[in-house]
Chains A and B, each alone.
Chain A
Amino acid sequence: MRNYLILLTFFVSSLVFAGCDDSSTTGQALVAYTMYGTGTGTTDFVSGDGWDIHLDEARLAFGPVEFCAHVPTFEIKDSMTGCGVVMGQLSVAGVIDALDVQEQELGTVQGIEGQIHSVSYDMGVSWPSTQASPKTVTDALDGFSVRVSGTATKDGSEVPFVFEVTVTPPNQGLFAVRGIPADGSVTQETSSVVVSTDPVQWLRYVDWQKVKDMYDGTTPVTCSEGSTLYNSVYYGITVGRPVNFEWR
């Protein structure tokens, strides 16, 4: 009987050992947090060429977004995806009112814990690899990526303008903006990421004198796709760091 007891003791202790399993994981747990957009609240500023700009509306369609583990890059030599491991995704698009300093909820980011080094995003129009053509993700701006309107004033000349630009990804499976630096550490405690944008940056390439030249005295100046003015707004919202991210 004792031998049974010995073996039983051993066995029970083994089970106890088994029951003591800790709660380890493979790391990098899945997380979800809210993305907010915010503007600077700047409605009036002076352009580089001395025009006083007053903005009535500055709204940007933003999303979908991917946060990437890959370091910022524009010339992709070492990555096949340009993003590497995707650390987070906002699969929808929202609209940021850049004239409002209040945080505006854009959606929920689904992602994983870890270090974010770069970001790629669309502006309301995306082109998934599974789609033959781009598709509009949000209709809030009537299919446009950005709408900015106001008046430019200089030397007594007052020029109203309404710029509407659509930023379309260059190709299937690509984002409109890729490899923009972003630096964030996401943990289980991360509750939100705030995207801030400054409309002044959007218009930094605009030649306001040419805008004045286009003004017919009655109709606000608009930009047609492919025009110089269109491209200057386009680059204003896609080149450099027109948006910034802060995780908290």
Chain B
Amino acid sequence: MRRIVGMLVMAAAVFISVPAVAQDKAERQDGDKTQGAVARVDVSKLVPPRRKKVTAPVYPPEGFSDTPVTVVFKLTVGEKGLVTNVEVVRSGGAPYDREAVRAVRQWEFEPARYEGKPITTKIEVPILFPARPRPKNAGHQKPTGNAPVDSGASVTTDGTAAAAGSTTDGTKAPDGTQMASSDATPASPVNRDIQPRPTYSATVTGQGTSLADSAAARSATDASDGDIVTTGVETEEEVQTTAATPAGGREIVVRGRRVVVKVKAGRFRLTRKVLAIAPHSSGGDMLKTAPGFYVGHPQAGGMANALFLRGFNAEHGQDIEIWVGEAPVNLPGHIHAQGYADMRFIIPEVVRSIDVVEGVFSPSQGDFAVAGSVHYRYGVRRRGLHAGFGYGSFGTRRLLAIWAPRGQSFDTFVASEFRTTEGFGENRSSKSASVMGRYRFPFGDRGYGVVHVGAFGSRAALPGVLRLDDIESGRVDFYGSYADPTAQAQSSFFTRMEMSALLHRQLLKKGESVDVSMFVVRTDFRVRQNFTGYVLYFPDQPELVGAGDLHSQYNLDTALGGRVEYRTGARKVAGMEALFTMGMQVRSDFIDQSEDLLYPAQNLIWRHMVDASMELLDLGTYLDSRWTILEGLVAHAGVRADSLFFEVNDRLGNQLYDITITNYELGYRRDAQGTFIGPRFSLSIGPVEKSFFKERIPKSLRPYLWPMSVSVAYGEGFRSPQPRMLQEGEKAPFATVRSVEATVKWSSHIGALTAGTYYTHLSEDYVFDPTWATVKPIGPTTRMGWVLQGLLTKGGFVLSGSLTYVKAVLDSPPPATPDNPTPGEKAGDLLPYVPPYVGRVDAGYSRKWRGWEGQVGLGYTWLAPRPLPYSQFADPVHLVDASASVTRGDVRVRLDVRNLLDTRWHDMEYNFVSQWDPSSHTPLPQRHIVAGAPRTVMLSLNIWY
């Protein structure tokens, strides 16, 4: 019943967004619609608007000021050159605003052009009203009739004549003085420069560039300014770039919207607007807004999230490639979990959007892109100094500071976050700090560069997992932790230091560009964790039975890498417009890792489990091409090849459990290599209204079919192996994934609805083994499912909903092991831990009123019962988060409530053997849980300056 209720809720959420699809296209307005695809802005193709007719404003009769008054407008100049919208950016006072608006509405322009086609743009225009001191008797006199005079004259200019302070249109000063000379006292409202100023914004609508696009979810090049990142069929994305105009060579800031068709299958973009609706405690938590994602917290907030996506139990990141800015997050060969991806260093406020590719369809997707890829894009929209102070339940305190210099790119900022909490239960206290800084600078006259430095540190006490029967019997509290010293000693430690740089440059040849990025990431991981209590037994140490299974894992990783990507401009090949992208991606990891079993009290090691160092090298290259076969019919074809090299110094290699080593020394140094080559294809049609067959659609069906796009895609990806599993000279046994996806999307100016179905096959899957606190192979697996996603934005209302279904099964019994020579699972059995249904709704409403701005938001997560090992099922999860904020000028007060209904829920569930009760031996699997957070309230004060 709960499942049905959950599905209905999700269904309602998605269906509510359907009207968005059916809206009249004519209603398109600029807004912050950001379900976007990927495109690239070629600034050299952008021609700013030029004025044709300018009507000077009159001085407001009631306006008096001892100092000049400036009113700044943001004008929307349509494709016909008319002013379609006027927005006051900086008010000069009601009278001045009124008169200025009246004037600028009459202005006419030569529309801006992109690739020769007229586009809609926004320009910022300042209007300066000179000082007009109030006459001494003004308080008793009405302005004379000849004071402000609207000459009604207009000028037609070539766009260069409007010098500051000059009026040639016969405008008179308020006192009636004819302002015929620039030497005259400036008494008339003057448009100092209605030519687009060095800083302006432009909105580009319509079909955008046809530049070759590459993967959305990859390195910073996609996320960088100058690129337009699109998700799905048709996307609009506000981007910002700093580049030179072709005409003047001046540095400008462009904020625009472009629509670009890209590999569409499985693409989603989470924009700031959606991300801001519901509270997110960390960067990793933001992913739960993406369709099909569940973000678990295996140890409260003390470790990397557990990620589940579309039937993949991605553990701590083994199946999801994650990039933030220009730097990768996944750590290959990690002692705790392959691809360990700790995203706690991400400060949510500096995330501008998140690109999610569910599936493997873009050649730029590399290692770990099995279930998909995630790319966080940095950016701070609101400029200035931002200070935030938060205080909440369980002694949670958060201090945030962001400085985003005005006039600079969104990509330029410095941010820091300090957080401390006692946690919502026993052994959950944590402290963390994160700092990062980015600077974007011009690079020649056709490019830009970005440098980034960041660091993060965290230490937390961990509660461990609890047996459900112990909770039910009252032996341990739901939010508690076992009293045993081996449980109380659980803790985690993680630091990350990163530096990266990106250079982007438009090449001289039209449309060509190159991106070069580099990164250095150093992480230090340590965890002390006891999942099983007192299970471990070693025949060679029988006297140590019962010492406790407190694992101490340590992993130090230094990763260096870079990427170079070259993109051609559009060119004709075999009669089709074609674009090509070629990239290379390299990464080298230097890893030192160990695992020991500890006596907790004295921190004594009672057994060495792992002591190894490794060097990994990943050489990747990819080629992507985009072919416009017919109008609206676009094919992508590409291939990716990776060659991976592993060198392992396993200092405890060849250890046997019951043999005293007398004739050789411990240790096993080995190397291995493997190559992966995988093709990726996609074909997309649409939107129909822009396709070659649009006229063949009967008129009666056009409202329904024209906004539709269809895409199909196939791709092969890989996950590198855990290096310590490799033998000398072994050809690295990559886990290969094959993905197929078909997607249909309806788009509207206020929203979109996406429906897709997918199939993925993984040649070698892994599942978490709590006994050894790591993963173990379970053989090939297959997933089939579908996804629905809807987005509606209307006025101040935003609704985003998704519902994902998957059936993930074993293709064959797991590999036999000495401990389990005849595994009981069979082909067709469900994969454990994978939730078959994941639903998510984010709904928000914001409104401005007399200088106040209010916002409320709600986030709802639904998880169907997750299958657990041994045919058990976890309890379903229903979670509601809420937020509300009030903003007045530069001050905002925000209230975040997570788990609004104070549900007692299981964040994670497992089913395995543990031994915590000294009075009984319990060798059979038991359900274990990680308690989810109770209602958590956080009040924050944010101040901008």
Out of A18, A78, A81, name the residue touching B805 (CB < 8 Å).
A18
Query: With an 8 A cutoff between CB atoms, is B726 at the interface?
Result: no
A118 to chain B minimum Cβ distance, whole angstroms, is 10
Query: With an 8 A cutoff between CB atoms, is B920 at the interface?
Result: yes
Q: In chain A between 142 and 186, which residues have their CB closer than 8 angstroms to a CB of chain B? A: 170-174
Q: Which residue of A lies closest to B873 (CB)?
A: A25
Out of B537, B821, B867, B922, name the residue touching A173 (CB < 8 Å).
B537
Query: With an 8 A cutoff between CB atoms, is A129 at the interface?
Result: yes
Q: Which residue of B lies closest to A70 (CB)?
A: B819
Complex contact B829–A24 (CB within 8 A): yes
Query: Which residues of chain B come closer than 8 Å to A14, judged between CB atoms?
Result: 11, 755, 786, 788, 803
Query: With an 8 A cutoff between CB atoms, is B545 at the interface?
Result: yes
Cα separation A64 to B923 with both chains bound (whole Å): 11
A144 to chain B minimum Cβ distance, whole angstroms, is 21
Q: Which residue of B lies closest to A71 (CB)?
A: B821
Contact digits for A119-150, partner B, Cβ 8 Å, 1 yes 0 no: 00000001011110000000000000000000
Complex contact B871–A25 (CB within 8 A): yes
Cα separation A171 to B540 with both chains bound (whole Å): 12
Cα separation A37 to B813 with both chains bound (whole Å): 34
Complex contact A15–B871 (CB within 8 A): no
Cα separation A6 to B21 with both chains bound (whole Å): 12
Cα separation A18 to B4 with both chains bound (whole Å): 9
Q: In chain B between 820 and 863, which residues have their CB closer than 8 angstroms to a CB of chain A? A: 820-826, 828-832, 836-837
Out of B11, B657, B658, B870, name the residue touching A11 (CB < 8 Å).
B11
Query: With an 8 A cutoff between CB atoms, is A114 at the interface?
Result: yes
Complex contact A91–B819 (CB within 8 A): no
Query: Which residues of chain B come closer than 8 Å to A115, judged between CB atoms?
Result: 822, 824
Cα separation A15 to B803 with both chains bound (whole Å): 10
Complex contact A26–B867 (CB within 8 A): yes
Complex contact B542–A69 (CB within 8 A): no
Q: Which residue of B lies closest to A87 (CB)?
A: B824
Query: Which residues of chain B come closer than 8 Å to A173, judged between CB atoms?
Result: 537, 542, 545-546
Query: Which residues of chain B come closer than 8 Å to A2, judged between CB atoms?
Result: 704
Complex contact B869–A28 (CB within 8 A): yes
Query: Which residues of chain B come closer than 8 Å to A126, judged between CB atoms?
Result: 921
Query: With an 8 A cutoff between CB atoms, is B188 at the interface?
Result: no
B582 to chain A minimum Cβ distance, whole angstroms, is 39
Complex contact A111–B924 (CB within 8 A): yes
Out of B534, B755, B819, B823, name the residue touching A129 (CB < 8 Å).
B534
Q: Which residue of A lies closest to B818 (CB)?
A: A78
Q: Which residue of A lies closest to B7 (CB)?
A: A18
A171 to chain B minimum Cβ distance, whole angstroms, is 4
Cα separation A236 to B281 with both chains bound (whole Å): 64
Complex contact B924–A89 (CB within 8 A): yes
Query: With an 8 A cutoff between CB atoms, is B660 at the interface?
Result: no
Q: In chain B between 44 and 65, which residues have their CB closer than 8 angstroms to a CB of chain A? A: none
Chain B, interface size category, equals: 35 or more
Chain A, interface size category, equals: 35 or more
Q: Which residue of B lies closest to A5 (CB)?
A: B704
Out of B15, B803, B805, name the residue touching A7 (CB < 8 Å).
B15
Query: With an 8 A cutoff between CB atoms, is B536 at the interface?
Result: yes
Cα separation A28 to B910 with both chains bound (whole Å): 15
Complex contact A84–B658 (CB within 8 A): no
Complex contact B870–A30 (CB within 8 A): yes
Query: Which residues of chain B come closer than 8 Å to A78, judged between CB atoms?
Result: 818
Given contacts A27-B825, A28-B825, contact A85 B542 (CB under 8 A): no
Complex contact B822–A80 (CB within 8 A): no
Given contacts A26-B868, A172-B546, contact A86 B924 (CB under 8 A): yes
Given contacts A24-B829, A30-B870, A112-B925, contact A171 B542 (CB under 8 A): yes
Query: With an 8 A cutoff between CB atoms, is A76 at the interface?
Result: yes
B804 to chain A minimum Cβ distance, whole angstroms, is 10
Query: With an 8 A cutoff between CB atoms, is B939 at the interface?
Result: no
Query: Which residues of chain A come closer than 8 Å to B8, judged between CB atoms?
Result: 15
Query: With an 8 A cutoff between CB atoms, is B872 at the interface?
Result: yes
Complex contact A76–B923 (CB within 8 A): no
Out of A25, A113, A130, name the residue touching B917 (CB < 8 Å).
A130
Query: With an 8 A cutoff between CB atoms, is B440 at the interface?
Result: no
A44 to chain B minimum Cβ distance, whole angstroms, is 39
Q: Which residue of A lies closest to B536 (CB)?
A: A80
Complex contact B824–A113 (CB within 8 A): yes
B165 to chain A minimum Cβ distance, whole angstroms, is 56
Query: With an 8 A cutoff between CB atoms, is A8 at the interface?
Result: yes
Complex contact B539–A76 (CB within 8 A): yes
Cα separation A82 to B807 with both chains bound (whole Å): 35
Out of B788, B832, B913, name the residue touching A26 (CB < 8 Å).
B832
Cα separation A170 to B543 with both chains bound (whole Å): 10
Cα separation A35 to B830 with both chains bound (whole Å): 31
Cα separation A4 to B22 with both chains bound (whole Å): 8
- Among A2, A3, A77, the one with the most B-chain Cβ atoms within 10 Å of its Cβ is A3
Shortest 8 CB-CB contacts between residues of A and residues of B: A84-B819, A114-B824, A130-B918, A173-B545, A27-B829, A28-B824, A78-B818, A25-B871
20 contacts between A and B (CB under 8 A): A18-B7, A18-B805, A25-B830, A26-B832, A26-B868, A27-B829, A70-B819, A71-B818, A80-B536, A80-B657, A81-B819, A82-B537, A84-B820, A85-B820, A86-B924, A114-B822, A128-B920, A129-B535, A130-B918, A131-B918
